[in-house]
């Protein structure tokens, strides 16, 4: 029978250290993926992911059952990324070589479709650069929602903010991404005029 995360946490707190291994094997790929999309470097994501799980290991004895384990774990991962951002502030976060001085990707003079970009292997880099150029708060929400598929409530728990704040950040992030990708000429993200009611 597959134990829930919370049951494994309880087993760990009662002295079964192998329960933590199960939690790691259950969550390490997802957490590593989230960290990668937040910091942009594969090797660094792996180190930060390990750091996040070590922090989880040290803190698990005091984990309160009011929160979901997954939200708690994502909170640790986000904090590890934020610490790293603070340390690296001003340095390149992701491969942003293509960005202009204004922080935008240079316009290439053509308007390729998303399919054409993907076939050329450019879409992935274009999207990565656009997400990396978002403010930290918006990038966190975009990553947790778009790529981790968390609910609004889970994101709110992980970031320790109200759900309404999560939605505000998400809306602004989506709007900015749409603008940035449109400047890259990705036609499927063509913007529409803002509502004028």
Partner 1 sequence: MECDAFREDLLDVLYGEADPATAHRFNEHQAECAACREEIASFRRLRHDLDGWAVAPKRRLAFPARLRPARWLAAAAGLVAAIGGATVLAKGEIRYPSGQVLLRLAAPAEDAAELRRLLAEQQARHEQAIADLKATAVRPAAAQASLDQEALLAEVRRLLKESETRQAAAFAAGLSGLEERSQAQRRVDMAQMSAGLSYLEGKTGLQTARTTELMGKVLLASQGGR
Question: By the criterion CB under 8 A, which residues form the site for partner 1?
Answer: 12-18, 20-21, 24-25, 28-29, 32-33, 36-37, 42, 46, 49-50, 53-54, 57, 61, 114, 117-118, 123-124, 126-128, 131, 142, 145-147, 151-152, 164, 167, 170-171, 174, 177-178, 181, 186, 188-197
In whole angstroms, the minimum distance from the beta carbon of 118 to partner 1 comes to 5
- For partner 1, the closer CB: 96 or 114: 114
If you compute the radius of gyration of the chain from its CA atoms, what whole number of angstroms results? 19
Residue closer to partner 1 (CB basis): 89 or 132: 132
Comparison of 50 and 75: residue with beta carbon closer to partner 1: 50
Tokens 């329960």 found at: 19
* Whole-angstrom distance, CA of residue 129 vs CA of residue 123: 10
Cβ-proximal residues to 19 (8 Å cutoff; 6+ apart), any chain: 3, 8, 9, 11, 12
Question: Residues 85, 161: contact at Cβ < 8 Å?
Answer: no
Closest CA to 34 of 79, 91, 83: 79
Minimal distance in Å, beta carbon 148 to partner 1?
Answer: 12
CB of 25 to partner 1, least distance (A): 8
- DSSP class of residue 108 equals -
* Shortest Å distance, C-beta 151 to partner 1: 6
**Is the Cβ–Cβ distance between 170 and 141 less than 8 Å?**
yes
User: In this complex, which beta carbon is closest to partner 1, that of residue 76 or of residue 117?
Assistant: 117
Nearer to partner 1, 84 or 145 (CB): 145
Closest to partner 1 by CB, 101 or 196: 196
Percent helix, strand and coil across the chain, each rounded to 5? 70, 0, 30
Closest distance to partner 1 from the beta carbon of 178 (Å) = 5
44: left (phi over 0), alpha (psi -120 to 50) or beta: alpha
Residue 49 Cβ vs partner 1, minimum distance, rounded to whole Å: 6
């Amino acid at each position: 029978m597959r134990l829930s995360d919370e049951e494994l946490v309880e087993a760990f707190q009662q002295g079964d250290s192998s329960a933590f291994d199960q939690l790691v094997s259950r969550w390490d790929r997802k957490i590593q993926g989230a960290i990668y999309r937040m910091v942009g470097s594969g090797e660094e994501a792996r180190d930060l992911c390990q750091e996040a799980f070590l922090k989880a290991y040290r803190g698990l004895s005091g984990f309160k059952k009011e929160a979901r384990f997954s939200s708690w774990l994502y909170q640790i991962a986000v904090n590890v990324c934020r610490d790293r951002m603070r340390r690296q502030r001003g340095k390149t976060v992701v491969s942003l070589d293509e960005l202009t001085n204004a922080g935008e990707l240079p316009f290439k003079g053509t308007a390729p479709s998303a399919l054409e970009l993907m076939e050329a292997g450019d879409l992935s880099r274009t999207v990565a650069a656009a997400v990396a150029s978002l403010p930290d708060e918006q990038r966190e929400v975009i990553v947790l929602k778009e790529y981790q598929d968390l609910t609004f409530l889970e994101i709110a728990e992980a970031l320790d903010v109200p759900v309404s704040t999560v939605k505000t950040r998400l809306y602004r992030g989506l709007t900015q991404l749409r603008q940035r990708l449109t400047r890259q000429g990705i036609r499927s993200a063509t913007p529409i005029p803002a509502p004028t009611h």
